[in-house]
Structure formats: C-alpha cells, structure tokens
C-alpha cells in the first residue's frame, strides 16, 4: 500500500491494527477487509482523492457505481460497502470524520430468481388428468384454476364456494393485505370447477364453506395442495418439479407473451405494487376479462 497517499494509507493501517488487536477478528476476515478497502482506496486515488476526510456520500456512490460497472455481483458490492461503513464508523469514533457518509449508500438488492415457468405443452401434459374419481377431479380443478386465474396458493385454499360464480365466470379473491379483487376465469378452468362442484358433496363435510376440501371433508391445507401437485407432476411425466407458484408464474408468463398487456396481467395477479401506480386501479373488469379471454391458452373450451 506504499503507493497510497498518507491521508488514505495511515488511517487504514490503524484500522487494520484495530481489527487485529481489539476486535480480534480472524485472519481471513482481516484479509477481506484489507482487500475491499485497498481496492476502494486505489479507486479514490484514480479519482484524485487523497484523504478519507473528503469522502462524502457522493464519492461513496461513485465507488458503488464503479463496482457495478466492473461487474461486481450485488452480494460482492454489498460486502465492499459494508467494509467501508465499518471503516468509517471507526474513523467517526476516532474523531477523524464527523459522520459516516457510507451509511446512506446501499448496494442494489440481489435479484430473486423467478421460478421457471412451464411452457404451454408442459402445462397441457400436466393438466391432461382423465381420471374421474372425486380426488382427481378436485386436483385438476385446483390446477386448472391456479393456472387459469393466476391465483396464489393461499388464495386458492381460502376460496369458499360462495366466491365462485360459474354463470358470470368470475371469482372473488382475498389477496395479500386482505385486499379483495374480482378475477375472471373461463374455458377449461370454469369447466373443471363445475365438474368439481358436482362431486364435492361426496367429500365435503356438512356446513364446510371451503371450495376445495380434503378427503377428510375439511378445507384443504396448503401442504396438501403442494403435495398433490408435486405428485401429479411426476405422474404426468412433467420434467420439472411442480409447485403451486410455478402454475401462477406460468399464467403470468403466458398471458404476457400472448397479450403484451403488462398492466392488465398485474391487475389480474393482484400485485401489491398496483397501489403505487394509479392507472392500474382504473382498469375496469370488462377490460381485464377481454384480455383474459383473448390471451389465455386454455380460455376456450376443450375436451374433458
């Protein structure tokens, strides 16, 4: 580090000694701090900065931007900024800085990978359930409805019989934050929910309001739905593991591919961020139903 100006180098050396003697960090952790802080000090020299005392939030943001341009992953950039915050905390404690200018700068959140959706052919294979016992009819109705309406698992499980209108082709759904929305469903989803309602009485206990019930007659549980869908994925020889969210994600993907109407699809999904964009809340149900009927792969009646 001899090439660094003293205004950058000397505080770093004192910090490293502090990590070693007072905090007694492992050698591996000390080396990580040195590597991250040395890199940023060298970048500051390239920017014409020779003293830590002039490094404000603007300089820290430049360091973060440089890391992103260099291809650092979000997790690596977060580690680098964390090292800088710790170093600046030390400088504040030593009276060399008045405030920690790195605290207001954070790395972009690490993107959460979306689950892989099923293509239309895979979805057709999964939903080609031709067994006619009540449990199989129930399972196909659940899968058709999840894919046909883009429901969350909790929304599917919490549906009551009174929430379904076969004549209108819509469902009353209570989503996150107890927000209610009306979702259209048609074609095979509507047909198979109708099949299920005809045989539901063979399983449902008296007075049970839940639309989908277990073989014990009570409202089906989240875990039971997950288990049954995974089993059908194996039985129907679908290559990827089947879970409820994969059906919802496939709904969104296929609708977007067919319609290109992002706002309508987000409205159908009931995403929480609709409240941040006023235009989404102004989309009327007729428009949503039209987009659904024109775009969803299974919106037209098919064979049982």
- List, by residue number, the catalytic residues: 152, 176, 245, 248, 271, 280
CA angle 122, 236, 243 (to 5 degrees): 70
Tokens (6 digits) for 195: 């099949």
Q: Which of 196, 203, 195, 211 is nearest to 151 (CA)?
A: 211
Residue with token string 């970048």: 43
- The secondary structure of 90-138 as a DSSP string is HHHHTTS-SS-TTTT--PPPPPPPPPPPPPHHHHHHHT-----SHHHHH
Helix pair 27-46, 74-93: axis angle to 10 deg:
90
DSSP state of 213: B
Using alpha carbons, select from 244, 226, 219, 228 the residue that is nearest to residue 129.
228
Inter-residue long-range contacts of 216-225, CB under 8 Å, 24+ positions, other chains counted = 219/157, 220/142, 220/157, 221/157, 222/153, 222/154, 222/157, 225/142, 225/153, 225/156, 225/157
- Answer positive or negative: Cα dihedral of 224, 226, 231, 236: positive
Contact by Cβ (8 Å): 201, 191? no
CA–CA gap between residue 200 and residue 135 (Å, rounded): 9
- Angle at CA of residue 250, ends 144 and 222, nearest 5°: 60
């Amino acid at each position: 580090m001899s090439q660094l100006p003293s205004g950058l180098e000397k505080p770093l050396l004192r910090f490293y000694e502090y990590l070693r003697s007072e905090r007694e960090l492992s050698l591996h952790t000390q080396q990580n701090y040195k590597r991250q802080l040395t890199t940023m000090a060298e970048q500051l020299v390239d920017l014409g900065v020779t003293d830590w005392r002039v490094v404000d939030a603007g300089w820290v943001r430049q360091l973060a931007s440089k890391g992103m341009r260099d291809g650092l992953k979000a997790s690596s950039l977060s580690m680098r900024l964390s090292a800088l915050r710790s170093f600046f905390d030390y400088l504040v404690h030593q009276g060399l800085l008045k405030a920690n200018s790195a605290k207001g700068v954070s790395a972009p959140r690490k993107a959460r990978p979306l689950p892989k959706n099923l293509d239309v052919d895979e979805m057709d294979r999964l939903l080609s359930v031709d067994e006619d016992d009540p449990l199989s009819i129930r399972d196909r109705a659940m899968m058709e409805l999840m894919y046909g309406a883009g429901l969350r698992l909790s929304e599917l499980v919490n549906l009551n019989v009174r929430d379904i209108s076969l004549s209108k082709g819509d469902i009353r759904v209570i989503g996150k934050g107890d927000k209610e929305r009306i979702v259209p469903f048609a074609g095979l989803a509507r047909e198979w929910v109708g099949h299920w309602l005809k045989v539901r009485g063979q399983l449902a206990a008296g007075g049970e309001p839940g639309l989908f019930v277990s073989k014990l007659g009570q409202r089906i549980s989240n875990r039971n739905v997950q288990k049954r869908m995974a089993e059908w994925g194996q039985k129907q020889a679908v290559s990827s593991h089947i879970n409820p969210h994969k059906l919802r994600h496939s709904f969104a993907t296929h609708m977007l591919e067919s319609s290109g109407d992002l706002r309508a699809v987000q409205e159908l999904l009931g995403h929480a961020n609709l409240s941040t964009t006023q235009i989404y809340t102004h989309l009327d149900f007729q428009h949503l139903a039209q987009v659904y009927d024109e775009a969803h792969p299974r919106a037209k009646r098919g064979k049982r």
